[in-house]
Structure 1
Amino acid sequence: MAPTRRRFLTGSLGIAGLTLAGCSSSNAPSSSASGPSASAKSSEVSFTFGNAAAAPTLDPSVTSNLETSRISAQILEPLVSADPDTGKPVPGLATEWKSSKDGLTYTFTLRKQVKFHDGTDLTADVVRKNFERWSKNTDKEQVNQTAYQAIFRSTSSDGTAQPTIYHSCTAIDSRTVELKITTPYPSIVKALTQPAFGIASPDAFADHDKYGSHPVGTGPFRLSSWDGHTAELTRNPDYWGKAGDIDRLRFVTVPSTQKRYYELLTTSVDAYDQVGIDDFVNLARRGYQIQQRDPYSVAFVSMNQQSGPLSDVNVRRAAAHALGRSQIATSQYPNGTNVANDFVPELFKVGGDDTSSAYRQDQGLAKRLLKESEYNGEELEFYYPTDVSLAYIQQPEAVFAKIAGDLTSVGFSIKPMPIRWDDDYLSKINARNSDRAFALTGYMGAYRDPDDFISPLFRMESPQFGFSDPTLFDHVHRAASLPDGDERSELYRTINEDIAEIVPAIPLAYPISAVALSPRVTSYPLAATGIENFSLVKLRKDA
């Protein structure tokens, strides 16, 4: 897999911003002591980050939400962390690990003298209780699968429990944990780097209802308060590692792209995510740093085969050939975003990309396919999110308008179904509903492996796509069990070809996302996943 391009992009953009700043420094707002980042105590350093969406919970084990993961990752730490440049596992709460020859047993050695925010000691038994909790949560029916369910294959298409590759987690002694699985999964250590596997204090998660709003971990920050939109964190004075420059860390929700831009200019935030397309030049002219992340997500249009006409593959192929995906990638995403020809971004690939012809725009072909299909012009519901900026779709309303226009131009009749993101959009497009035909959505990666994208989408039947293909599902499971190499690469190539033949969805783009930083930030630990470690943020001493 290719190494990240993160530093090259960051460096080039940083230089451009500094150069422009020299020409227009009078336009840059100063970071005065009266701004919200300044503390009532002159010695206390505060930092405010603008999230593009609200976190539905602060428990990362029950959701794949980016904002939940970003906040909770400052509080909870996993056994293994991910190197931000390569994605390779590096020590976290475990200092070392080893696997058995058969790939079924993983042994982790824990750090010494680590305490949770409530004073509980980190022990192997605590880790065991966390795995027990994740396993038990699998038994709870829910529309959106958790990271645990995806990794350990512990849920079926209807949300109920099924045989899992998880066997056990055992405390060998106070600092040694043994994890056993029933089927080889060579990527499991990489998978455990996700915030979803952050280790929590058992006393805290004993109260399940309270834990979602007040997680307790070992991280560099402790949670002070959260009201569903703003999270207030404070430095952990007993942190085992280096605590960093920030004493108080705030995450605020600012769904509007334009408002996030002005919040930075007025020093209401010190940094924000999902920089709007129109704001790149304006920020650079004012001397602000803009750091771009490598593509770590894919945007796509899902097609529900339980919805009447979409059971006909010619209808789905007509939709795929109707879309001008290159225009969408260039007009609706930051510069550097590439058209997606399958569902795996370049950083995750171990196989080739041979599926571009399946989705190329050819409206003449789309019209012929539609004419030869079972479609009779009936109105088709198209779901899309509103009031949100996402890593994979910054401007959902604009992207939907372009797609709906392309579909209409070849003969589709589209019924727009706008749904507020806060109204649990993901649950609505993942629920069984034969009236829903299309949905605008995407997937954000969490660890550097193609299984992270392929398995959650195509390892089993899903109400979002409404199809069953046992051969494809078997291929996905087998690919996950193989080590990196030619056999695995060839199998993923086959999987991509199979998906392109079935056309359960139309891949749109591998989006670039960006973070804008105030002048008081001298170093920001950009991560392609969007899950930065804020204890590593460096600030000007005079800010």
Structure 2
Amino acid sequence: MNTAAARRPGRRSPAGVRSLAVALAACLTLVSCTAPEEAPQPVKSSTVVEDDPGTFRFGTAADPRTLDPALAIDTESYRVTRQLMQGLVGIDPVTSEPVPLLAESWTEQDSGRAYHFTLREDVVFHDGQPFNAAAVCANFERWYTMPPSDHLDRSRLPFKDVFRAFSDQPELSLYEGCTVTSEYTLTLQLARQITSLIPALAAPAFALGSPAALTSDQANELSHSRSGTFISRFGAAPVGTGPFELVRWEAGEVELKSFANYWGEAGDVDRVVFTTITDAGARARALTSGRIDGYDFVSVDSAVDLARNGVQFLQRDPYSVLYLGLNQDFPGVDDVLFRRAVAHAIDKRALIDGRFLDGTKPARSFLPEKLGISTEDVTTYGYNPARAKDLLEQAGYDGEELPFYYPRSVSRPYLPAPEKAYAELSRQLVEAGFNIRPVPIEWSEGYVDAVQRPGDRAFHLLGWSGTYQDPDNFLGALFGSTSAEFAYDDSQLESKITRAGSLPAGQERSDAYADISAQLSERIPAVPLVLPISALAMSPRVVSYPVSPVMNEVFNRIDLADVEADGRRSG
């Protein structure tokens, strides 16, 4: 039996929030010794955004793609939806372990094939509708019965990653139903045990929307396009139970306001403005000029000068992986000798130097070290251009042009400077005998869609950021089913991943994921490159910020210097 007791979130996290007042010397250890191309202006004590003291302005690296978390797969969408919507399960700010949120407690039943949830009784949705067991089950049924037109061209949707299939493939799905047992209790039925279920329900994709809004705003009808992404009316204006509600979403800016009837602590922030600034250097200048109060994905080029100018840093523990994707539908890439040549051609340490913050490590597998899965049996391919050339010759590669897709005008947790990473990887591959053709694609113009559907690419750069603490969040999401991204069809591996997900926590389960990692290292559907450090920068008015390796950073837990502890604005 696994039962969790209720916990009400406080207004700040006493542990797990790294102090923002980082000394200059400490900040300098975060970066490699690469001089910035353009130095930001010094911070001045008077450069505070001219707004109400309760306004917090945050610089984001890209626009959100949708505000419907069930259909989102990107960091910037989740960054906004985490403020608006909540799930049954939360995340401990210190350990990243699951804790109660909208569910006060849960109990495992029937050997893990069912979970009984008891809900909070003091929660309402932003539209005034009650939060209860019927609302929870309505969300689960919506996710399960999502039309194929909504999910067939969207890889890695979390519902499929966790439950393996939707209602159009009931024989494959691990979801069997959601039963209301009283106004505030429900039972979730599963086809078999999902060991990671409770941690997975803390992921932002499982945030709960108002059933009335899901119906009236036709959440499953992706009726209009926004920056190339089809979304529903609900996806443009979601209704949840979070500490903030949506005011407006325009190109380049999202505005939120505090929800007056929020069940938890309101905190210091009563207005949030997300401003999209795609260039990392421009985000640094916006911070030092007072246009924004904080931003994410500090680049190596900006970090040294920001530190010298007194800007405060937050460093996340690494929980993402950058990889080089290999498309086995491209002629020749389906030969494992070719893929081994790619692996030998890459110098991961040279890739890290000057392009990633200090503390970033070469990746031996697709799993962050935090998960504690052994890599002892993983095959490693040392940097050896001569060996790569020999393998290419054995594979019969004749110098055919190899399209290499990479994103532009964006920063990701796993890829702070994509153009620079591409340039180094391309140089290494060319040195080993590959004929590379660069294919840059603007992130905002559908880069993710371009590399996750059938296409003419041989290589592409992408990564994965974990949203909950379990190896299935990485291996299940990336390789749990056949995807067009890698064109890698391995039913045996998929069965192993499904089995590992159902094993009880313990050594057998850890060994199963270690074996999966070893098999991936032999077959090389992609090359894991680095496990990056990511960092945020904050203005002096930010006293504390709820930094989280899984980016569970909800802004009602920010403390601001110009807001008094009792919530009254200081004069």
Q: What TM-score, normalized to structure 2?
A: 0.88
Residue 459 (structure 2) pairs with residue 459 (structure 1): no
Query: 1:183 aligns to what SS in structure 2?
Result: coil
Q: Report the AA paired with residue 376 of structure 1.
A: D
Q: Structure 1 residue 47: deviation in Å?
A: 0.6
1:385–1:109 Cα change, 3 Å = same
CA distance in 1, matches of 2:440, 2:547: 33
1:187–1:27 Cα change, 3 Å = same
Q: Report the AA paired with residue 518 of structure 2.
A: E
CA distance in 2, matches of 1:227, 1:240: 28
- Identify which of 14, 18, 26 aligns with 1:10: 18
Query: 1:30 aligns to what SS in structure 2?
Result: coil
Match of 2:244 in 1: 221
CA contact (8 A) 2:199 2:469 kept: yes
Residue 157 (structure 2) pairs with residue 146 (structure 1): yes
Query: 2:161 aligns to what SS in structure 1?
Result: helix
CA distance in 1, matches of 2:169, 2:400: 34
Query: 2:282 aligns to what SS in structure 1?
Result: helix
Q: Structure 1 residue 287: deviation in Å?
A: 1.5
CA distance in 2, matches of 1:401, 1:521: 36
- Identify which of 449, 463, 466 aligns with 1:445: 466
Match of 1:3 in 2: none
Question: Once structures 1 and 2 are overlaid, which stretch shifts more, 515-524 or 326-335?
Answer: 326-335
Q: Report the AA paired with residue 218 of structure 1.
A: T
CA distance in 2, matches of 1:161, 1:112: 33
Q: Structure 1 residue 143: deviation in Å?
A: 3.1
1:494–1:32 Cα change, 3 Å = closer
Q: Structure 1 residue 138: deviation in Å?
A: 5.5
Match of 2:91 in 1: 82
After superposition, residues 331-342 of structure 1 pair within 5 angstroms as: 331-342=354-365
CA distance in 2, matches of 1:160, 1:267: 52
Match of 1:193 in 2: 202
Query: 2:382 aligns to what SS in structure 1?
Result: coil
- Identify which of 509, 518, 522 aligns with 2:543: 522
Match of 1:398 in 2: 420
Query: 1:310 aligns to what SS in structure 2?
Result: coil
CA distance in 1, matches of 2:458, 2:467: 28
Match of 2:31 in 1: none
1:20–1:449 Cα change, 3 Å = closer
- Identify which of 167, 171, 175 aligns with 2:180: 171
Q: Report the AA paired with residue 279 of structure 1.
A: S
CA distance in 2, matches of 1:474, 1:337: 32
Q: Structure 1 residue 59: deviation in Å?
A: 0.8
Query: 2:298 aligns to what SS in structure 1?
Result: coil
Q: Report the AA paired with residue 45 of structure 1.
A: G
CA distance in 2, matches of 1:320, 1:18: 36
CA distance in 1, matches of 2:449, 2:171: 21
CA distance in 2, matches of 1:177, 1:347: 33
CA distance in 1, matches of 2:17, 2:122: 39
CA distance in 2, matches of 1:372, 1:20: 48
1:273–1:162 Cα change, 3 Å = farther
CA contact (8 A) 1:314 1:369 kept: yes
1:162–1:387 Cα change, 3 Å = farther
CA distance in 2, matches of 1:534, 1:498: 41
CA distance in 2, matches of 1:304, 1:110: 45
Overall identity of the aligned pairs, in %: 38
CA contact (8 A) 1:349 1:450 kept: no
Q: What TM-score, normalized to structure 1?
A: 0.92
CA distance in 1, matches of 2:487, 2:441: 21
CA contact (8 A) 1:215 1:223 kept: yes
Q: Structure 1 residue 283: deviation in Å?
A: 1.5
CA distance in 1, matches of 2:110, 2:359: 42
1:31–1:296 Cα change, 3 Å = farther
Residue 423 (structure 2) pairs with residue 423 (structure 1): no
CA contact (8 A) 1:350 1:484 kept: no
After superposition, residues 291-440 of structure 1 pair within 5 angstroms as: 291-355=314-378, 357-433=379-455, 435-440=456-461
Residue 135 (structure 2) pairs with residue 126 (structure 1): yes
CA contact (8 A) 1:138 1:149 kept: no
CA distance in 1, matches of 2:255, 2:42: 31
CA contact (8 A) 1:55 1:229 kept: no
Deviation sequence 1:197-246 (CA, Å, 0-9, x none): 11111121211221111111111111111014211100111111100001
Query: 2:352 aligns to what SS in structure 1?
Result: helix
Structure 1 residues without counterparts, runs of 5 or longer: 1-5
Query: 1:95 aligns to what SS in structure 2?
Result: strand
1:302–1:20 Cα change, 3 Å = closer
Structure 2 residues without counterparts, runs of 5 or longer: 1-13, 29-40, 220-231, 563-569
Residue 540 (structure 2) pairs with residue 533 (structure 1): no
Q: Structure 1 residue 19: deviation in Å?
A: 8.9
CA distance in 2, matches of 1:467, 1:502: 9
CA contact (8 A) 2:146 2:166 kept: no
CA contact (8 A) 1:20 1:286 kept: no
- Identify which of 519, 534, 541 aligns with 1:513: 534
CA contact (8 A) 1:329 1:508 kept: no
Q: Report the AA paired with residue 394 of structure 1.
A: P
CA contact (8 A) 2:106 2:118 kept: yes
Q: Report the AA paired with residue 83 of structure 2.
A: Q
Q: Structure 1 residue 161: deviation in Å?
A: 7.6
| Runs of 4+ more than 6 Å apart | 6-9, 18-21, 159-162
CA contact (8 A) 1:114 1:122 kept: yes
Deviation sequence 1:139-167 (CA, Å, 0-9, x none): 332232311111110169xx988620000
Q: How many pairs were matched up?
A: 523
Match of 1:239 in 2: 262
1:105–1:20 Cα change, 3 Å = closer
Query: 1:14 aligns to what SS in structure 2?
Result: coil
- Identify which of 268, 273, 276 aligns with 2:296: 273
CA contact (8 A) 2:16 2:93 kept: no
CA contact (8 A) 1:138 1:161 kept: no
Q: Structure 1 residue 291: deviation in Å?
A: 0.5
Q: Structure 1 residue 18: deviation in Å?
A: 9.4
1:316–1:190 Cα change, 3 Å = same
- Identify which of 105, 113, 119 aligns with 1:110: 119
Q: Report the AA paired with residue 448 of structure 2.
A: L
CA contact (8 A) 2:17 2:544 kept: no
CA distance in 2, matches of 1:399, 1:162: 42
Q: Structure 1 residue 350: deviation in Å?
A: 3.2
CA contact (8 A) 2:91 2:552 kept: no
CA distance in 2, matches of 1:116, 1:295: 34
Q: Structure 1 residue 55: deviation in Å?
A: 0.5
Q: Structure 1 residue 353: deviation in Å?
A: 4.4
Question: Once structures 1 and 2 are overlaid, which stretch shifts more, 322-331 or 132-141?
Answer: 132-141
Deviation sequence 1:424-444 (CA, Å, 0-9, x none): 1111111112x2110111111
Q: Report the AA paired with residue 550 of structure 2.
A: T
Q: Report the AA paired with residue 14 of structure 1.
A: A
CA RMSD, Structure 1 to Structure 2 (Å): 2.1
Query: 1:311 aligns to what SS in structure 2?
Result: coil
CA contact (8 A) 1:104 1:184 kept: yes
Q: Structure 1 residue 102: deviation in Å?
A: 1.1
